[in-house]
Amino acid sequence: MSTLRKFKKVVVAAGLSLTTTVWLASAVLMAPTALAYSDGDLLKDASTANIYVVNNGMKVWVRSAAVFDDCSYDWAKIKTVSNLSATPTADLIKSASNPDVYRLEKNFKRKLASTEIFTSYSLDWNKVGTVCQHVLDSYSIAPLIQQTSSPDIYWVQTDTLKHKMTSWQSFVDHGFNIADVIGINAMEMGSYSEGAEIGVTPTVTKSITVVAPNGGESYTAGNTVNIKWQSQEVSKVSIYLNDAPIGTAGGSDYSIATNINTVSDSYTWLIPGDFFIKNPEFATGNNFRIRIYNYTVDNNTATKDESNNNFSIVSAPLPMCSDSDNGINYEVPGTINGLSNSMATASSESDDYCLDQNTLIEYSCLDDHYQQKNTYTCPYGCENRACNKKPYTSIKIGNPGLVQFPNSDSGDRIARGVQDLQAYQGRIYVGDGDASNNRGPIKV
Partner 1 sequence: MYKFRVYNDKLYIPGIDATESWDFGNFYYKKNGIWTKKRTVPGAVHVMDIAEADGKICVLGTGIFRPGEYFDNNLLVSSDNGNTWIIADHQYNRPENSIFSDAILPWDGRFISRILAYQYSATSTTPFGPFVGGGLAQSNEASDYFSFLEPRIYINPKIIFQNKIMGNCSPQRTCFTSDLQNITYIDQFSDPSHIDKDSLSKVLRDQVIVGDTIYALTRENPIINQTKTSFKFYSGGIYSSKDLINWKKEGIFDFPAMPTALEYLNGAFYVGLSSNYDRDANTFIDDDAGSIYKISR
Binding site residues, partner 1, CB under 8 A: 389-402, 405, 408-409, 413-433, 435, 437-438, 440-442
Of 355, 392, 218, the closest CA to residue 288 belongs to 218
Residue number with CB closer to partner 1 (9 or 416):
416
Q: CB of 432: closest distance to partner 1 in angstroms? A: 6
Residue number with CB closer to partner 1 (31 or 395):
395
Q: CB of 351: closest distance to partner 1 in angstroms? A: 18
Residue number with CB closer to partner 1 (272 or 400):
400
Residue number with CB closer to partner 1 (6 or 396):
396
Residue number with CB closer to partner 1 (19 or 404):
404
Q: Which residues pair with 377 in a beta bridge?
A: 359
Single-letter code of the amino acid located at 347 = S
CA distances to 68, 145, 430 from 12, rounded to whole Å, are 11, 26, 78
Residue number with CB closer to partner 1 (357 or 392):
392
Q: CB of 356: closest distance to partner 1 in angstroms? A: 23
Q: CB of 325: closest distance to partner 1 in angstroms? A: 14
Residue number with CB closer to partner 1 (90 or 386):
386
Of 176, 138, 144, 180, the closest CA to residue 162 belongs to 144
Q: CB of 430: closest distance to partner 1 in angstroms? A: 6
Q: CB of 322: closest distance to partner 1 in angstroms? A: 19
CA distances to 164, 214, 230, 266, 423 from 225, rounded to whole Å, are 41, 12, 16, 10, 66
Residue number with CB closer to partner 1 (213 or 440):
440
Q: CB of 422: closest distance to partner 1 in angstroms? A: 3
Residue number with CB closer to partner 1 (8 or 389):
389
Of 442, 351, 370, the closest CA to residue 401 belongs to 442
Q: CB of 427: closest distance to partner 1 in angstroms? A: 8
CA distance 383 to 222: 42
Contact 156, 143 (CB under 8 A): yes
| Peptide bond preceding 400 in cis form (omega within 30 of 0) | no
Q: CB of 406: closest distance to partner 1 in angstroms? A: 10
Give the pairing of strands 78-81 and 42-45: parallel
Residue 195: HSE in the Cβ half-sphere, 13 Å Cα cutoff = 13
Of 383, 378, 237, 365, the closest CA to residue 303 belongs to 237
Of 208, 144, 139, the closest CA to residue 176 belongs to 144
Residue 323: in which H helix or E strand, if any? strand 322-323
Of 237, 228, 168, 227, the closest CA to residue 198 belongs to 168
DSSP character at residue 257: E
For residues 133-149, b (16+ Cβ closer than 10 Å) or e, as one string?
Answer: ebbbebbeebbbbbbee
Q: CB of 12: closest distance to partner 1 in angstroms? A: 55
Residue number with CB closer to partner 1 (3 or 394):
394
What are the residue ranges of helices labelled H in 92-182?
Answer: 115-120, 133-137, 168-173
